[in-house]
Structure 1
């Protein structure tokens, strides 16, 4: 993988850095990011995409599969770099992994979803508390009751109070409520298999019932003579409408369509999408002296971005290698040990070698050809993309840092005083993203097919 886009803007905007300086900083911070953050994303890639249980007793298949991933993914990334396409390492690794696994075991070998609803719910809980409480506080205080003087509060005070109370509620939830709530749920809630059994059970009176408890409700369903219930989804029951209701909805829809032929929606006119861009777009050209101040900040955020990239994309790239080592070391497909720091450093070294040898080919695609980037714009690009990637790395999410960076470049290009985005370049980049997953998968499957013919 060639990770040059992390420092592309710092290099091209305002001659902030020379090529060699950008390479040195990128190498340093890619390595630090991989060593300090990479373990979480690596664990997700090597254990979360493929169902390891299906390879139990078939360690040789999994080993050959990881070799196929490295070969197919590496070949596609080299081809893409040769044609100056900033493709996603994450998509390449995921596509290659899916490719070999489907060849060996069809769709059964892939974890298409993550069955940890409680874990995901607990992560979202503080954010949901923040959102709900902030909205409620805002609704109460904004132009509120004149009896207690809320109608005289300025908007900034209302927003500050809403945000502050919501943030306090989120912090309390995160540090005091989440763990207690998790323990309470685990202690007081039966497991899913028992719940399914209870809901699916059929009693002797030909009706589907739940356990006799105040916490459950009775559900009557018709059953066949052989004792099985007829299939009737809850979604169908909830979405059934009478004929009159359906016709009324259709009539209202036709009326709304007729009223909106002139570009209006009732009494509210539809604003063009460009109004949102004009709101953020600056009408004044950048002051060259003030712009120069951002050159130092841009170098800082470029280093920040390289650090985040090392924590995410390096981890994705070496996940197959980590799996190979873990299977060899443990003799099991379960890979219970943590990722070795030496493997993370090895992956970072490979990234740096790729950057120094081939990085310039992709730097100019993102740093120059896509849009004009100034130091303030480069600062915004690096900061926005780095925050996104860093947050995803802490959550163990293998997202595409390439897409984060290109998206930031396009957004900044649109809101400049003189917006210029070369859409033909963006189109080619987008097409390369679309073909990455299937091409990497096909290449990995092809390598796996050859290995299967030779070694299995």
Structure 2
């Protein structure tokens, strides 16, 4: 082939990459925020707003300059050197196969590994092109992925338990839990900010000096950052919490930096008849009068609400149905539909026994951990955007490189232009905003009852596990880790009925079938395309 041949593959590859990134947002990003939303630390809308920025910035700023086009050395790239266009077609089929499975799984609310999905798709392409001998079946390839099905959830579960159990026995179960919690908050801020700073610095922005720092320098800077954050929390945040939670003052978040100078602000008088706005806030588990509430709508009520809304949208008659105002109203409804869902399942009758078996603690003490959980959710989202964007960006980068040079880079890596990272980052955000609620609903309180302290422990345990394992060479998956962390939280209740074992079974089954389904889809597409009749002139 010559440079710029097979432009149609390049064009379709862009579409496939966007679809795959959309699936990543709907599945991977959704399960990153599931515990924050399910515990009530964030509303679904707030989580989406935060993720829009953290995911995009992680993908755009810290997305690697080079992405592994053949993840984990699964396929021997040199087999495609005689016909570079076949690798272009293979990467296109891999993107389509991966995107199709991830989007389908997201629709069903099943958390799957998007990394394993693209790997399975590439395996299918390799088998269809050159047979099973083209695949690395040993521990350096497929066996390592299978190992991660067991290592990821177990490792994350152990780390999460180590974080949560001391919190439960030392703070939550103490008769004076609120006072103990407020005193312990700076310590939690220290370790949370230490882990976050270490990860971001150690990851390093590609091409900057941060990527060349020694481990000692990274640790030193991380400790310094953690000390500053801890000092701020000790001086300002603890005082703010005492006034807001213990004193019940009407003090707002923007008073935090000047909390020592703000005069006494009494809480507003309780209103007998709640306004529609406040009632709506309570139903969605939002914040009213400075306190988190855990109310939520029943899923059946949500369905009825959606039907009523659709009826209202269609109640316009004649030409008014197509007026600019009516069209704008309809567009707004469908644009925001994905962030107005109930994903907490607190009144779900099928999960009532699971939630009832979980131990409940003081609401005010739990509220203390909401702020920490928001930080860990942002960290998980930022790191996810910087890492997993390669699942969608890597294959299209390979297609683009071959399209420009008409050669196969045998290193298995290709430079990733910034426009590809930006494109994938935007598609990830759209996937979360429009489709992410499916996975959040199933993975959150659908597995076990989650509160802010539980959700914080699960997210911090997942981040710490992924960070540590990736640096020492253990095969882990973020999706598998957060699932294992949430399961461990359920087991920490000391009651096996506090876990939805059926949901966990479906999760594990989805991990197993991801490789063959994505691989079969991509392999069949490649076999069809590569063996199609050609028209010669």
Name the TM-score class by shorter chain. 0.5 to 0.7
2:78 to 40, 45, 53: 53
* Distance in 2 (alpha carbons) for counterparts of 1:90 and 1:363: 19
- Secondary structure, aligned partner of 2:449: coil
* Residue of structure 1 in register with 2:477 after alignment: 400
- Secondary structure, aligned partner of 1:42: strand
* Residue of structure 2 in register with 1:412 after alignment: 489
For residues 185-334 of structure 1, the aligned pairs below 5 Å read 286-334=361-409
1:350 to 417, 427, 430: 427
* Distance in 2 (alpha carbons) for counterparts of 1:397 and 1:38: 21
1:64 to 70, 86, 89: 89
* Residue of structure 1 in register with 2:502 after alignment: 424
Asked if 1:383 is matched to 2:460, the reply is yes
* Distance in 1 (alpha carbons) for counterparts of 2:403 and 2:72: 15
Give the C-alpha shift of residue 390 in structure 1: 3.8
Asked if 1:452 is matched to 2:527, the reply is no
Contact kept in structure 2, 1:37 and 1:394, CA below 8 Å: no
* Residue of structure 1 in register with 2:37 after alignment: 11
* Distance in 2 (alpha carbons) for counterparts of 1:455 and 1:56: 22
1:38 to 51, 63, 82: 63
* Residue of structure 2 in register with 1:368 after alignment: 445
* Residue of structure 2 in register with 1:77 after alignment: 102
* Distance in 1 (alpha carbons) for counterparts of 2:80 and 2:468: 32
Structure 2 gap ranges (5+): 1-22, 142-213, 217-357
Give the C-alpha shift of residue 342 in structure 1: 2.5
Contact kept in structure 1, 2:58 and 2:386, CA below 8 Å: yes
- Name the CA shift for 1:325/1:51 in 2 (closer, same or farther; >3 Å): same
- Name the CA shift for 1:63/1:44 in 2 (closer, same or farther; >3 Å): closer
- Name the CA shift for 1:115/1:396 in 2 (closer, same or farther; >3 Å): closer
* Residue of structure 2 in register with 1:94 after alignment: 119
* Distance in 2 (alpha carbons) for counterparts of 1:306 and 1:410: 20
* Residue of structure 1 in register with 2:148 after alignment: none
* Distance in 1 (alpha carbons) for counterparts of 2:470 and 2:532: 38
- Secondary structure, aligned partner of 2:386: helix
- Secondary structure, aligned partner of 1:10: helix
* Distance in 1 (alpha carbons) for counterparts of 2:413 and 2:484: 36
- Secondary structure, aligned partner of 2:531: helix
Contact kept in structure 1, 2:66 and 2:414, CA below 8 Å: no
Specify the structure having the higher radius of gyration (Cα): 1
Contact kept in structure 2, 1:95 and 1:440, CA below 8 Å: yes
Q: CA RMSD in A?
A: 2.8
Give the C-alpha shift of residue 315 in structure 1: 1.5
Paired residues, what number?
A: 292
Contact kept in structure 1, 2:113 and 2:479, CA below 8 Å: yes
* Distance in 2 (alpha carbons) for counterparts of 1:397 and 1:39: 20
- Name the CA shift for 1:44/1:415 in 2 (closer, same or farther; >3 Å): farther
- Name the CA shift for 1:324/1:114 in 2 (closer, same or farther; >3 Å): farther
Give the C-alpha shift of residue 36 in structure 1: 4.1
Asked if 1:341 is matched to 2:418, the reply is yes
Asked if 1:440 is matched to 2:518, the reply is yes
Query: Deviation per CA, 1:19-76, whole angstroms, max 9, x where unpaired?
Result: 1110011121112222344328832645833211111121011000001101111111
- Secondary structure, aligned partner of 1:416: coil
* Distance in 2 (alpha carbons) for counterparts of 1:115 and 1:85: 27
* Residue of structure 2 in register with 1:104 after alignment: 129
Contact kept in structure 1, 2:70 and 2:413, CA below 8 Å: no
Contact kept in structure 1, 2:76 and 2:134, CA below 8 Å: yes
Superposed structure 1 runs of 4+ greater than 4 Å apart: 112-116, 391-399
Contact kept in structure 1, 2:71 and 2:119, CA below 8 Å: no
Contact kept in structure 2, 1:41 and 1:396, CA below 8 Å: no
* Distance in 2 (alpha carbons) for counterparts of 1:365 and 1:175: 39
Give the C-alpha shift of residue 384 in structure 1: 1.3
